[in-house]
Structure 1
Amino acid sequence: MSKFGTIVMGPAGAGKTTFCSALINHLRINKRSCFYVNLDPAAEDFTYEPDLDIKDLISVEDVMEEMNLGPNGGLICCFEFLLQNLEFLTEKLDNITEEYLIIFDMPGQIELYTHIPIIPQLVSHFRTSLNINLCATYLLESTFVLDRAKFFAGTLSAMSAMIMLELPHVNVMSKMDLVKGKMSKRELRRFTEPDASLLDDDPADVLNDTKAPSGNSTDPDPLARDAFMGGTSFKRLNHAVANMIDDFSMVSFLQLDVQKEDSVGAILSYIDDTIQYHEAQEPKEPNDEIDYDYGDTDMG
């Protein structure tokens, strides 16, 4: 029997746990079952207490103290330990039925999804040993659109995770309330399907050009602090990244405002379609006998 789940991931500060809370709330309102798994061994505050918490097995604080590691090294060590003790997950997840949506709340260290094989091994266990139909919900903070170079760097990270994990992805621009009033809706829609043309009319280029010294060169002084993020080489690099993303045509974004129930519901709808959740549900039998009260109305 198949199970269904989504792995919520993305950079630190993207709003993963907030989204998980909003998703759980939406599911409860609509009387759907969910199982919340926290896989961030450094997380502390939750709106909804996890049904399964990696900190019951191991925590970053303990690893850092016992092994004299930093936060990132401690996190990687925690996941290595988890992979050696997968029965911790299997015992709880094995009996989950197909009516549940399993929500995996992941840490924000991006290296876990881009160039270290730990999470791919974990995903493989979920899919093969536990028979979970999975998709990844990748969150990128919407404020990245205000700096187009930063936005394409975030988009490249999303694409790297897609290639590394080999999972269907639902990519989401989170915290849309933070850019409200800073950019028109029409302009924001351009970022849902990223392409290199976004760099051709980057407002930051105008600002950088005003700093160029007089003479034949259009570049700022290469020794100036501003030149590191504003010279021609930096622009060429950004265009190369943007063109590569455009060539792959893998990444598109949905917009999310967790304060709006319809917005959360729309993301859930995409998740359900991606993991084919509704196709596996048993059809509901209608009530055999329903009493209709027609009062004194003559139906003859």
Structure 2
Amino acid sequence: MTSLHLGPNGGLLYCMEFLNENIDWLEERLAPLVKEGYYIIIDCPGQVELFTLNTGLQNAIKTLTDKLHIRLAAVELVDAHLCSDAGKFLAALLLSLSSMLHLELPHINVLSKADLVEAYGELHFNLDYYTEVQDLSQLVDTMGNDAFGRRYRKLSGALAEVIEDYGLVNYTPLAIEDKDSVQRVLALVDKATGYVFAGLADKSPYPPEFVYGAVAADSGVADMWDKHQAQQELKVHEREPS
């Protein structure tokens, strides 16, 4: 930043582009860790340009997944205090959706500091409304209480419709002091990356493509497992003498 006279955002974008030009450096340092079976956590800065506009992070992710065969999941933290402001929460929803489409990874959206949400002001709805991203027209209706909200009400409604049309965004609440909420987030990440099924391919009668191919989606995995198990049981019965 000092030598190139860049600000914080410009410095990060430059570093990401520089990293992509020298991606072999990262590959060489991660390859031994991958070989030894390390669980790799990449802590990214919070500048939204890296996740929505610039392709630097996207290209780095592609290198890690295609060349080193690392199964990655994106975990996006959204501060729960945004729930107390309808406009800010709508912007957070749009950012989460944009990140999901841009990064093209299994994605877990986390509503962090959920235990402090009411400290920032009274919510218009209960917490489930914000985590499950229910009827957003109700959220837009609460934004007409000031001049800014009234002026941009139509735009807010259009953005809400875009978010609902995709139907991809929801949040998992996280309170770092709550062990159960931490375990819940960890379980979602492990399922998204396939880590929860690590080692099962050699021990399980189920085919590897099932064990590793269906874990990125939360919904439907249990149904697929039950269906496959029923098929295996049917084969056993077919082999048994009548």
**Structure 1: tracts of 5 or more residues without a match:** 1-63, 209-226, 286-300
For residue 136 of structure 2, the aligned residue among 189, 192, 196 is 196
Tell me which protein shows more strand as a share of its residues. 1
How far apart are residue 275 of structure 1 and its match?
0.9
Distance 1:98 1:198, change over 3 A: farther
How far apart are residue 284 of structure 1 and its match?
11
Q: Within 1, Cα distance between the matches of 2:48 and 2:155?
A: 21
Q: Within 1, Cα distance between the matches of 2:109 and 2:141?
A: 24
How far apart are residue 189 of structure 1 and its match?
0.5
How far apart are residue 278 of structure 1 and its match?
2.2
Task: Please state if 1:93 is matched with 2:30.
Answer: yes
More contact order relative to length (CA 8 Å, sep ≥ 6): 1
How far apart are residue 80 of structure 1 and its match?
1.1
Letter paired with 1:281:
G
- Report 1:1-300 matches (<5 A): 64-95=1-32, 96-97=34-35, 99-180=37-118, 182-183=121-122, 187-194=126-133, 195-199=135-139, 201-202=141-142, 204-205=143-144, 207-208=145-146, 227=147, 229-231=148-150, 233-281=151-199
Letter paired with 1:124:
K
Distance 1:283 1:161, change over 3 A: closer
Q: CA contact under 8 A between 2:140 and 2:153: conserved in structure 1?
A: no
Letter paired with 2:198:
A
Work out which of the two has the higher radius of gyration on C-alpha atoms and give 1 or 2.
1
Distance 1:186 1:266, change over 3 A: farther
CA deviation profile, 1:65-103 (whole Å, cap 9, x unmatched): 111122211111111111122233212211224753211
Letter paired with 2:149:
G
Q: CA contact under 8 A between 2:86 and 2:140: conserved in structure 1?
A: no
How far apart are residue 273 of structure 1 and its match?
0.7
Q: Within 2, Cα distance between the matches of 1:168 and 1:200?
A: 29
> Could you tell me the TM-score, scaled by structure 2's length?
0.75
Using the aligned pairs only, state the percent identity. Answer: 37
Secondary structure of the equivalent of 1:102? coil
CA deviation profile, 1:220-250 (whole Å, cap 9, x unmatched): xxxxxxx2x232x311111111111001001
Letter paired with 1:88:
W
Letter paired with 1:187:
N
Q: Which moved more, 1:237-246 or 1:78-87?
A: 78-87
Match in the other structure for 1:37: none
Q: Within 2, Cα distance between the matches of 1:106 and 1:198?
A: 33
**Structure 2: tracts of 5 or more residues without a match:** 204-242
Q: Which moved more, 1:86-95 or 1:159-168?
A: 86-95
How far apart are residue 283 of structure 1 and its match?
8.9
Structure 1: 4+ residue segments shifted above 6 A:
none
How far apart are residue 197 of structure 1 and its match?
3.2
Secondary structure of the equivalent of 1:132? coil
Q: Within 2, Cα distance between the matches of 1:104 and 1:144?
A: 25
> Could you tell me the TM-score, scaled by structure 1's length?
0.62
